[in-house]
Amino acid sequence: MQYGDGYWKVNSKMKKLLIEGMHCASCASNVERSLKKVEGVKSVSVSLMTKKAIIDVDTNVKDEDLKKAVSRAGYKLIKIE
């Protein structure tokens, strides 16, 4: 049995966003608040430590919208995994 076989399939809409510019705890909560406002985003978990937001989204949500949400809060989305 493999990690890849089961776990990720269940969360197939999971995305990891690498974000630049977060340097304090309220930054992380800003990013979280802004991403949650995007329609289709179900859950958001932002880590200041990994500089990443792990989100659960509907597949029809555009990356562009995520990018906008991050920059609305004042930060930069560098990469989506």
Partner 1 sequence: MKEELNLEELEINSWKKKLILSWIFTIPIVFLMYFSKLTGIMLFEDNTMIILSLVLAFPVIFIFGFQTIKSGFRGFYTFYFSMDSLIALGTVIAYLTGILQFVFIIQDYSGIAAMIMSIFITGKYIESVARGKAGREIKKLIELGAKNARVLSSNKEIEIPISEVKIGDILIIKPGEKIPTDGVVVKGESSVNESMITGESLPVDKKKGSNVIGATINQYGILYVKATKIGEDTFLAHVINLVEEAQSSKVPIQKLADKITSVFVPVILILSVLTFFGWFLFGDITKGIGAAISVLVIACPCALGLATPIALTVSSGIGAKNGILVRRGEAIQTMKEIKFIVFDKTGTITKGEPEVREIYSLIDEKKLMLITASLENLSEHPIAKSIVKKANLKKYLEVKNFKINSGKGIEGSINGKKILIGNEKLMKENEISLKQIKIDDFEKKGYTTLIVSENKKVIGIMGVADAIKEDSVRAIKILNKKGYKTIMITGDNERTARAIAAQVGITNVIANVLPEDKSKKVKELQKKGKVIFVGDGINDAPALKNANVGIAIGTGTDIAIEAGDIILTNGSLMGVVKAVNLSKATFSKIKQNLFWAFAYNVVAIPLAVLGVLHPVVAEIAMASSSITVVTNANLLRRKKI
Site residues (vs partner 1, CB under 8 A):
1-4, 6-7, 18, 20-21, 23-30, 33-34, 45-52, 54, 72-74, 78-79
The answer to whether the CB of 73 falls within 8 A of the CB of 33 is yes
Residue closer to partner 1 (CB basis): 2 or 60:
2
Residue closer to partner 1 (CB basis): 28 or 38:
28
Beta-sheet strands, E only, within 28-75: 41-47, 52-57
Task: Classify residue 58 as exposed, middle or buried by CB count within 10 Å of its CB (0-12, 13-18, 19+).
Answer: exposed
Residue closer to partner 1 (CB basis): 12 or 60:
12
